[in-house]
Structure 1
Amino acid sequence: MSEGTGAVTNAGEGEEVLQPFSVTIGATVPTGFEHTAAEEVKEKIGAEASISKDRGRIYFEITTDNLPKVHHLKSVDNLFVVVKCYDNYQFKDTKEDALLDLQEIAPVLPWSNALEVWKLNNSVKKKRSRRRGAAPKPKPSGDDSEGEKLQAETSMSEETEEQGEVCPEQDMSLQREQNSETIENKPLKFRVTCNRAGDKHSFTSNDAARDFGGAVQEFFQWKADMTKFDVEVLLNIHNNEVVIGIALTEESLHRRNITHFGPTTLRSTLAYGMLRLSKPQISDVIVDPMCGTGAIPLEGVIEWSHSFFLSGDNHDMAVSRTVNNINHIVKRRQTGGSTSPGLPIDTVQWDLCHLPMRTSSVDIITTDMPFGKRMGSKKKNWDLYPSCLREMARVCRPSTGRAVLLTQDKKCFQKALLRMSGLWRKTHTVWVNVGGLHAGVFVLLRTGAIFGSTPENKRESQKASETQVEDMMENI
């Protein structure tokens, strides 16, 4: 991680223009999707990203004129600019000595470039707010319980915060406009957030945040404020790796497209990562048969607008939430003056095991399956999963169709996949952390077998027909 130096040149009339300089940006990503996020950074910014020893973080170098592009990344939850990185920091054995060392490094850190990036970032946000007008934050209609939050402990408080911001779009040449709240003419409010992993430290996260924060306060003469802060200084410690940074986001970006939440709302960054694994192509028909609040199809329709997305659920409230979230995006595009505010997406209420779709009509199926905890039950999954995989195989195109399925009920899924081995072939699995639960994202390829042609498939079809007849008789 290099530390660039900003160069200032005269641009006539005594005006100073800051020349672009190199900085290292850190980003928190859904645990397990580090490589997917690194691929997106390479694709959209052209930078090589390195993966932290502490899972869930990546780092990459940019020049400051590319700062707006960083906010367009869909894989990242939170962004920060790196002040300094120590790859092999040697902590002292005693608590007092270790904390004293942290206090002593605060005044000698290269803060200037990171604070300059922080100011540029604020300028972008203010200009965007003036252009679009301040919009009230949407209130969740449910519990975003599946969202994995950034774990953070602060000095004087054990509260956990999420950081994020609306994507900026302004050119960096406009970002040097004078700001009335600069570091030079107004004392800033700040807090230090410490994230610590490893069992060989003699101090706690709160200890480190308190003592390091005290040294930062003494050096800058800033005012400590745990809630209404201007600057959030990050102290990330993972065993002997220490990274000091300044946050560029205020709340997690994973809520970006959702206004109506459900009990198991999937975070947008995780939904985007799943879609990237499915590799959508132009004109693909992509289905989320258990859409919940529509996080997956909404991410898809915004990023891959040349594909068609169909979302559905058997629960009327889930369908209603998805429709409301779609309408919110459409309205936002209309307000923003989009020439094509419509979206290639539709929503249907249906029974997943009996989809109202033609056989071999779908290219990709991507969905968050019930874990059997907050939704459904482990017992029901033993019947539900095989039926789901069978119906998904029916509507998916042989040989080219694919599915990316998320579940924490790994044992049940593996058993169901074994039963459907004639129709689906697993290519690989990505292990992820979803709200503290260890889950798997299973990437499947539809085999070339025609649905119902193999003896195994015929037995499955006959069993399904017998079950339907029994249900009809019970209803009579």
Structure 2
Amino acid sequence: MLHVITVTIGATVPTGFEHTAAEEVKEKIGVEARISKDRGRIYFPITTDKLFQVHLLRSVDNLFVVVEEYDHYQFKQSKEETLMELQQLASKLPWTNALEVWKLNGTLKKKKGHRKGGSTTKVKPSRNTADVAAADTEQQLHQVVSAAESHLEADSAADAEPCEQDSQEAAPEARVIKFRVTCNRAGDKHSFSSNEAARDFGGAVQEFFQWKADMTKFDIEVLLNIHNEEMVIGIALTEESLHRRNISHFGPTTLRSTLCYGMLRLCKPQASDVILDPMCGTGAIPLEGAIEFSSSFYIAGDNNDMAVNRTVNNICHIQKRRADKGRISGLPIDTVQWDLCSLPIRTSSVDIIITDMPFGKRMGSKKKNWDLYPLCLREMARVCRPGSGKAVLLTQDKKCFAKAISRMGGLWRKLHTVWVNVGGLHAGVYLLKRTGAVFGQTPEDVHESRGMCNTQGDEKEDKELS
């Protein structure tokens, strides 16, 4: 029988959407998540038989298993003493369970990679398990892996590419494990730098396990997360962020899928809702919606023909991936090229509008936003259902947005704001409710001109790259 252990999983999430991620963990895994004092991280307990479910979460970027955590680590005053303590710590930590989870995780990832070719009978040991998972361990893990196979959502992550070691037969003798230590440090009271901590702690880990340090081709990544007095030591379970799962054709400003998921959850899509993204860019938001909230219908539009082409290509890529795996490939999504301020959509016919507004940073300008934002909000109000319609809008141009909303007060009411970090920029995700006012009869929208909209030219794909 498989030996099940309980461990703590840490996850990085889009800053500002920690509570959304905690809600998703409770909903899908059934456990309470703790939000870290260090923004952008959550922690939750799991049993190893549920590990595959963690990879199905839509709101998390990177995952790691916690080796040990300290709420109030007493760092010494002098750098030398602190670094010496970190070196001594390496041999005292309870590594066993975390390494077991790392092994199991490698087996799950390997299985996912093999699904593509349809071969699940013979599984070579993966890069992560070649030296450490003996044959009997793999036998023990078989039940969990089978469960993962049957439950794993085909779109939960980008198709795993085979690791370099898989192209050669795994050597029968044990290969030396390669590792690196990554230190993320925040706080101004530390006497040491991140590099110094990673170097000295890494040296002690190397000595303790007899692993080989390699900064690029590593099997294990040990994480040292230090936030003021909080210190967490972990082992990474993801090689690249899960947020890249849907997009194959990236634009200059493609949004993270994890951030799109957070925005979608804010507006709680219901069955048969018509959901509109009038400035879709590469289609990241409607694609995430069509996959995760598939009982709604999505319309993705943009005025930029390159953006529309990228969206179409991304939809085709997901459909092909689904068809290759024998699943129904259709997605509830349509793509249109249009003028944002004169949408070819019937008045009061859309339930939810969700979009990434032009920031005026990478392309376009904040000056043009002053004209564009009120016109956008007015046209969005026209197509949105009075009384029940909602909008979730992301922008970093907070001053301009506040002014535009104040001009449209008869049509939109601001319910909630989530402050997020988008590619290093401080931005707001605004949840708006459409008032019950009939469009064309409020003082705000009667005198607004509708003829200025094409001034933004090709700048509509002005989204911010995370």
**TM-score range relative to shorter protein:** 0.7 to 0.9
Distance 1:274 1:285 in 2: 16
Give the secondary structure class of the aligned counterpart of 1:259: coil
Distance 1:59 1:37 in 2: 10
**Counterpart residue number, 1:144:** none
Distance 1:464 1:260 in 2: 33
Is the 8 Å Cα contact of residues 123 and 175 (structure 1) preserved in structure 2? no
Aligned-pair CA distance for 1:311: 0.2
Distance 1:280 1:175 in 2: 29
Is the 8 Å Cα contact of residues 192 and 234 (structure 1) preserved in structure 2? yes
Aligned-pair CA distance for 1:464: 2.9
1:9-20 mapped onto 2 (5 Å cutoff): 17-20=1-4
Deviations 1:314-359, CA, capped at 9 Å, x for gaps: 0000000000000000000000001x21111000000111100000
Aligned-pair CA distance for 1:171: 5.6
Distance 2:397 2:146 in 1: 50
Is the 8 Å Cα contact of residues 108 and 145 (structure 2) preserved in structure 1? no
2:290 partner letter: V
**Counterpart residue number, 1:371:** 359
Q: Does 1:336 align with 2:308?
A: no
1:419-434 mapped onto 2 (5 Å cutoff): 419-434=407-422
Distance 2:424 2:179 in 1: 29
Aligned-pair CA distance for 1:19: 1.8
1:56 partner letter: G
Distance 1:327 1:213 in 2: 44
Q: Does 1:201 align with 2:185?
A: no
**Counterpart residue number, 1:392:** 380
1:208-223 mapped onto 2 (5 Å cutoff): 208-223=197-212
**Counterpart residue number, 1:450:** 438
Q: Does 1:345 align with 2:333?
A: yes
Q: What 5-or-longer segments of structure 2 have no aligned partner?
A: 119-141, 149-165, 454-466
Task: Give me the identity figure in percent.
Answer: 75
Distance 1:240 1:304 in 2: 40
Aligned-pair CA distance for 1:175: 8.9
Aligned-pair CA distance for 1:173: 5.3
**Counterpart residue number, 1:22:** 6
Deviations 1:127-152, CA, capped at 9 Å, x for gaps: 22222239xxxxxxxxxxxxxxxxxx
Aligned-pair CA distance for 1:96: 0.3
**Counterpart residue number, 2:349:** 361
Is the 8 Å Cα contact of residues 14 and 40 (structure 2) preserved in structure 1? yes
The match for 1:73 among 53, 57, 69 is 57
1:271-420 mapped onto 2 (5 Å cutoff): 271-338=260-327, 340-420=328-408
Give the secondary structure class of the aligned counterpart of 1:324: helix
The match for 1:241 among 197, 219, 230 is 230
Give the secondary structure class of the aligned counterpart of 1:107: coil
The match for 1:464 among 429, 450, 456 is 450
The match for 1:102 among 76, 80, 86 is 86
Give the secondary structure class of the aligned counterpart of 1:260: coil
2:83 partner letter: L
The match for 1:187 among 169, 176, 187 is 176
Is the 8 Å Cα contact of residues 107 and 145 (structure 2) preserved in structure 1? no
1:424 partner letter: W
Is the 8 Å Cα contact of residues 314 and 352 (structure 1) preserved in structure 2? yes
Distance 2:232 2:170 in 1: 27
1:82 partner letter: V
The match for 2:30 among 22, 25, 46 is 46
Aligned-pair CA distance for 1:289: 0.4
Aligned-pair CA distance for 1:124: 0.7
Distance 1:384 1:464 in 2: 10
Is the 8 Å Cα contact of residues 353 and 392 (structure 2) preserved in structure 1? yes
Distance 2:218 2:382 in 1: 54
Aligned-pair CA distance for 1:185: 3.5
Aligned-pair CA distance for 1:174: 4.5
Give the secondary structure class of the aligned counterpart of 2:355: strand
Q: Does 1:86 align with 2:70?
A: yes
Aligned-pair CA distance for 1:266: 0.5
**Counterpart residue number, 2:106:** 122
Distance 2:274 2:400 in 1: 28
Deviations 1:156-189, CA, capped at 9 Å, x for gaps: xxxxxxxxxxxxxx9615499xx9979x943200
Quote the RMSD (CA, aligned, Å): 1.9
Distance 1:377 1:41 in 2: 39
Give the secondary structure class of the aligned counterpart of 2:450: helix
Distance 1:419 1:316 in 2: 31
Q: What 5-or-longer segments of structure 1 have no aligned partner?
A: 1-16, 135-169, 469-476
Give the secondary structure class of the aligned counterpart of 2:308: helix
Is the 8 Å Cα contact of residues 393 and 446 (structure 1) preserved in structure 2? yes
Distance 1:61 1:399 in 2: 41
Distance 2:2 2:325 in 1: 30
Distance 1:124 1:175 in 2: 10
Give the secondary structure class of the aligned counterpart of 1:362: coil
Q: What is the aligned residue count?
A: 411
The match for 1:172 among 144, 152, 157 is 144
Distance 2:175 2:39 in 1: 37
Deviations 1:430-450, CA, capped at 9 Å, x for gaps: 000000000000000000001
Is the 8 Å Cα contact of residues 120 and 175 (structure 1) preserved in structure 2? no
